[in-house]
Amino acid sequence: MLRKALDLLHSCTQANPESIDRLESIVQRAFDLKTNIHRSREIQAAQHRPENRNTHALRKRAEGRARRRPEALRPHPDTEPILSRPRAHINGPRRVPVLVDARGIPFLRIKKPEPPSLSRVLRSKLDARWKKILRRDKLEDDVYLAQQEDKWDAIVDQNNGGRWETTVAECLDYTIKTIQHEDQKNKELAQKMWEVVLKERELAEKEKEEFRIQRLAQAESVNGVAAVRESKHEVKGIAAEGSKEDIAAEKHDKRP
């Protein structure tokens, strides 16, 4: 088959009209076959559209589009800062938040499950921190390579007024300070969040005690009303018995 194809191409190079017509016919048939296959696939796809079962990929794509929207980057106008807690007045029992450490990033868990927005923020911060750590490790390796470059420049006497190690060391120092600064900010944020937890606990205990006293007062009030009703009932019973005795005495006096 390959030998025939080569012979046909060689004959076409010799300007043989039969070979040229045959080659054009082969190319046209191949083009028509490709067109028919493409058209049949389009018809089949329109009639039998397969269900996309990769819901995880669809969800990730939707989250990516949501993150790219400008309004998704702005907080909700009714959202209160987490550090504005504890709230003075709430409806229902107070839920004390739990301080959680997500690999060095603190946050307050109010309830379960966590909202998707919180998961996205945590994942984004953790990914950014991990990239800085990888950059720091790579720069530490690059420092050694830069030192070797400086040694080679000293051997060939081509220093050009600068050192490779200086530039790499500056980048490494900047990366380390950035990581340390973010860790310090997370530490301070964790301390503020812990103070919020302590205040929430204090208010929860206070409200629990107030609710207990209120329940006791209500119970005493109910018991007092019941006692008054019972005493009135006893007075009525005594009065009824006294009237019966008086009637019996009058009947006894009227006898001959």
In the predicted model, what is the mean pLDDT of residues 233-241? 57
Which pair of structure tokens corresponds to residue 166? 């200086």
Q: What is the pLDDT of residue 248?
A: 53
Q: What is the pLDDT of residue 25?
A: 87
| pLDDT tens track for 44-89 | 777 765 555 566 677 777 777 666 665 555 555 666 666 667 777 7
H/E stretch holding 102 reads strand 98-102
Q: What is the pLDDT of residue 230?
A: 66
H/E stretch holding 108 reads strand 105-109
Average pLDDT over the chain, rounded to whole?
78
Q: What is the pLDDT of residue 49?
A: 57
| pLDDT tens track for 145-181 | 998 888 888 877 766 667 888 999 999 999 999 999 9
In the predicted model, what is the mean pLDDT of residues 191-210? 89
HSE-CB for 53 with a 13 A CA cutoff: 1
Q: Which residue has the higher pLDDT, 44 or 26?
A: 26
Instruction: Classify residue 172 by burial, with Cβ atoms within 10 Å: 0-12, 13-18, 19+.
Output: buried
HSE-CB for 55 with a 13 A CA cutoff: 0
Work out the percent of the chain whose per-residue pLDDT is above 90.
20
**Whether the predicted pLDDT of 115 surpasses 90:** no
Considering the entire predicted model, what is its pTM? 0.53
